[in-house]
Amino acid sequence: MRPIKQNGYHHGNLRRAVIDAALEAIAESGPAGWSLRELARRAGVSHAAPAHHFGDKTGLLTAVAAEGFGMFADALERAAGDALEVGVAYVRFAVGHRPYFEVMFRPELYRMDDPDLATARERAARVLVTSSGTLSPAPAQDRLTTIAAWSLVHGFAGLWLSGSLPEAAHEDPEALARSVIRLFSGMSSPG
Amino acid sequence: MRPIKQNGYHHGNLRRAVIDAALEAIAESGPAGWSLRELARRAGVSHAAPAHHFGDKTGLLTAVAAEGFGMFADALERAAGDALEVGVAYVRFAVGHRPYFEVMFRPELYRMDDPDLATARERAARVLVTSSGTLSPAPAQDRLTTIAAWSLVHGFAGLWLSGSLPEAAHEDPEALARSVIRLFSGMSSPG
DNA sequence: TCGCCATTTTGTCAATGTCAAGATAGGGTG
DNA sequence: CACCCTATCTTGACATTGACAAAATGGCGA
């Protein structure tokens, strides 16, 4: 992030600058390998400037998670109805917005009682529940099917992000995920 | 962890005491929410004592991950051959040894070049590869099937541990995982 | 008895998260 | 235009942390 001022005081939207700097830092060294002061330095402000906007480190991560869940819900809703495409969108978000995703599913890092965050979270969950219905063999299995489909794509994302699929390192994660979901959903074409 | 000495110097197996203290701390506040000095305090030794055994914080987490992968491989091998039971064992380990599991799949926290760790990791992977064969519809799909089965159980574990399955909060995770895996593998009985 | 050496302690330093108090600017009100 | 008001940012401070260096301890063999 470029400094938002050159000299003297400046009332800019530090909020955005700090969140962007945090995303960069998380991309480099994980959700816990950075410091607030370093972010402030990157944004060109004093070490305590972020505190006014986010309160503390947990507050900043709460903002990141909330924004992430919002983007996540948007992405899933764009594919809603087509179970395969929702799954692919899930993986695409995880890989394409890794810093967000890594914070979102680490609740000990942020405050779950944030209202915006909770709303976006439920919005994303609703897409998963409604879209997995077509995969269910019988209404009695709807809930299990949702959990299975969610687990499949969430696990694929987690394994990919943690580098646990080394033989797949040079493949396109989205294409591989599509093949895996197809196999799961009993479709024929193995991509 | 109880202090390992009462007064004066003591040459005990501080190594074990510190690892146990770390597991406790990780269980309480996640893989990053604790401090080396706090561990030393819990073990009843001076603040720099752990450094001799582990080098630095990353070294301690490497030891935790290596030990975890060893126990993990043992657990999977005990169920080897039966794909359903391997999957259940995977989830049981994640839930029953949460601190280990949370460190193991966060490679940015430890050193992956540790030889013991790599050996145990490959041992666990081999069980997954060989045991998922029975689920594959055709030899050409073996690799996709392994990735799918692994993703399913890994994702279930991750979602459970992150509290993302709230409606399942009071169910037995092992039984629920068994049902989900059965559904995935095309078996009939929905548990 | 003596010295060796793994182990642990003590002391120190820069960096970090957080709090409190002061400085700045820009807009609204008179 | 002068004034103040408030959000925003800075400065200064403090306890805690991870890491390093040097000293202390004590068991064990020569």
Residues of chain A with Cβ-Cβ distance to B190 below 8 Å are 140-141, 144
Domain with CATH 1.10.357.10 in chain B: 58-184
pLDDT at A168: 83
Q: What is the pLDDT of residue A9?
A: 44
Residue in B105, B108, B148 nearest the CB of A180:
B148
Distance A118 CA to C28 C1' (A): 37
Half-sphere exposure (CA, 13 Å, Cβ side) for A58?
A: 9
Domain limits, CATH 1.10.10, in chain B: 14-55
CB contact under 8 Å between B141 and A190, yes or no, is yes
CA gap A97, A119 in Å, rounded: 20
pLDDT at A11: 54
Cβ contacts of A105 on chain B, cutoff 8 Å: 158, 162, 164
Smallest CA–C1' separation from A11: which nucleotide? D8
Pick the CATH number of A58-184 from 3.90.1150.10, 1.10.1530.10, 1.10.645.10, 1.10.357.10: 1.10.357.10
With a cut of 90, say whether residue A191 has pLDDT above it.
no
Higher-confidence residue of A31 and B3: namely: A31
Task: Print burial letters for B23-36: b (CB count within 10 Å at least 16), e (below 16).
Answer: bebbeeebbbebeb
Q: For an interface test with A, which of B152, B161, B179, B187 has the most A Cβ atoms less than 10 Å from its Cβ?
A: B152
Q: What is the DSSP string of A87-128?
A: HHHHHHHHHHTHHHHHHHT-GGGS-TT-HHHHHHHHHHHHHH
Q: Report the C-alpha gap between A34 and A26 in whole angstroms.
A: 7
Asked if B29 is an interface residue toward chain A (Cβ–Cβ < 8 A), one would say yes
pLDDT tens-digit series, residues B60-118: 999 999 999 999 999 999 999 999 999 999 999 999 999 999 999 999 999 999 999 99
Average pLDDT over residues A17-22: 96
Positions of chain D reached by protein Cβ under 7 A: 7-13, 16-22, 24-27
- The pLDDT assigned to B187 comes to 44
Protein residue minimizing CA–C1' distance to C23: A9
Query: In this complex, is the C-beta atom of B187 within 8 Å of any C-beta atom belonging to chain A?
Result: no
Q: CA-CA distance, B82 to B149, in Å (whole number)?
A: 13
Q: How far is B106 from chain A (nearest CA, A)?
A: 6
Among A31, A141, A184, select the one facing B190 at the smallest CB separation: A141
- pLDDT given for residue B6 in this prediction: 40
| ipTM of this complex | 0.92
Closest CA to B28 of B110, B107, B98: B98
CATH code: domain B14-55 is 1.10.10
Does residue B5 have a pLDDT over 80? no
Sign of CA dihedral A110, A114, A119, A122: positive
What would the mean pLDDT of B139-145 be, rounded to a whole number? 94
User: How confident is residue A186, by pLDDT bands cut at 50, 70 and 90?
Assistant: confident
| pLDDT over threshold 80, residue A44 | yes
Interface-testing mutation among A98, A147, A184, with chain B (most B C-beta atoms within 10 A): A147
* A189 at interface of B, judged by CB pairs closer than 8 A: no
Confidence of residue B190 (pLDDT cuts 50, 70, 90): very low
Contact B108 A29 (CB under 8 A): yes
pLDDT tens string A114-138: 999 999 999 999 999 999 999 999 9
In this predicted structure, the answer to whether residue A61 has a pLDDT above a threshold of 50 is yes
Q: Higher confidence at residue B7 or residue B81?
A: B81
A144 touches chain B (CB under 8 A): yes
